[in-house]
Every structure is written in C-alpha cells, then in structure tokens.
Amino acid sequence: MFDYKPTDGASKPQLYDDLCSAADALTRDEPDAVANMANVAALLADFLPDLNWAGFYRTLGSELVLGPFIGRPACIRIAWGQGVCGTAAASAQTQIVPDVHAFAGHIACDAHTRSELVVPVVRDGNVVAVIDLDSPTPARFDTEDAAGIERLAMMLAERI
C-alpha cells in the first residue's frame, strides 16, 4: 500500500521536496508511462491544495492529447500554440496564468478554473507532455509552485 502525504505545515519548498520524493518512489522502477502519469496525477491532487484539475497532456504529432488526470472531464485534443497548455508546449516554457479569462485564446474546459500553471516535460530537447494544474482561485500559482513542478517535470522526463 502507498501512503504518501505531505508534511503537515510544510513550506512550499518542503511540500515540493515531499511531492518529488513520493513521485520518484512511485515511478523509479515502473517503465509504463501511463501508469506513472496516473500515479503522479493522484499525488498532485493529494499534495497541492486548492486545485480543481491536475494531470497531463501528452504530445502526439502537432497536438496535445489528454493523459491521466484528476478532475472534471477535460478537452481531449489541444493544438500546439492554442490555450495555456498549447502555448507551454509550443514555447517549451512554463506558463503561470493568474487569471485565465485574461489569457488570450484560453480554452475553457472547466468554467470553475480561474488560474493555471502549465509546465512542459522536455526529453532530448522535445516537449513530450505538459503538466497542467488548474485552480478555482485567482492567482493561485506563483514562482515557487512553478519551480517545484519544473523539478517534478525534469525527474519525470525519462519516465513518461
């Protein structure tokens, strides 16, 4: 049985240390990318407060295709360069969006989402997926969140 939990009262850096340690333990010896994404999506939902969606979009050709996630049903395909996820994939740059309604071209999969953090997962110079976090709270994500999820993405790059 797996029972990974964040440390009570942990600072954000400690929270992301705990998250990355749990993700490493779950994915280190598992070769199946879908299984690894599914377990990490569950960890994201357990470790990070105030989310309404957490998961992955996988690169398939010139679009992103929905991967394992926790949350309401989501958009299945997103073109590169479209919306927050497509912008992160096309630019290979983390996107911190304090107000999704102010983001030109935002794709509204869940009307409750107010802010978003999307981090590309890069392997051998190619974006293979993005980690997408949505929150019903405006400006939920900051640079500490981005740094923590970027660490997670680097660790997962060879595992998904």
Rg (CA), the chain: 14
Task: Write out the DSSP string of 47-111.
Answer: HSSS-SEEEEEEEETTEEEEEEEEES---SEEETTSHHHHHHHHHT--EEES-GGGSTT---S-T
Band (114; pLDDT cuts 50, 70, 90) = confident
Asked if residue 12 has pLDDT above 60, the reply is yes
Is residue 110 in a domain? yes
Asked if residue 1 has pLDDT above 60, the reply is no
pLDDT for 108 equals 66
Is residue 7 in a domain? no
Give how many domains the chain has, as a whole number: 1
Is residue 2 in a domain? no
Residues 118-140: tens digit of each pLDDT:
999 999 999 999 999 999 999 99
Contact 62, 79 (CB under 8 A): yes
Q: How far, CA to CA in Å, does 94 sit from each of 1, 85, 86? A: 33, 9, 11
Is residue 26 in a domain? yes
CATH classification at residue 58: 3.30.450.40
Is residue 136 in a domain? yes
Residues 39-56: tens digit of each pLDDT:
999 999 999 999 999 999
Domain that holds residue 133: 12-156
Contact 129, 105 (CB under 8 A): no
Is residue 118 in a domain? yes
Is residue 5 in a domain? no
Is residue 146 in a domain? yes
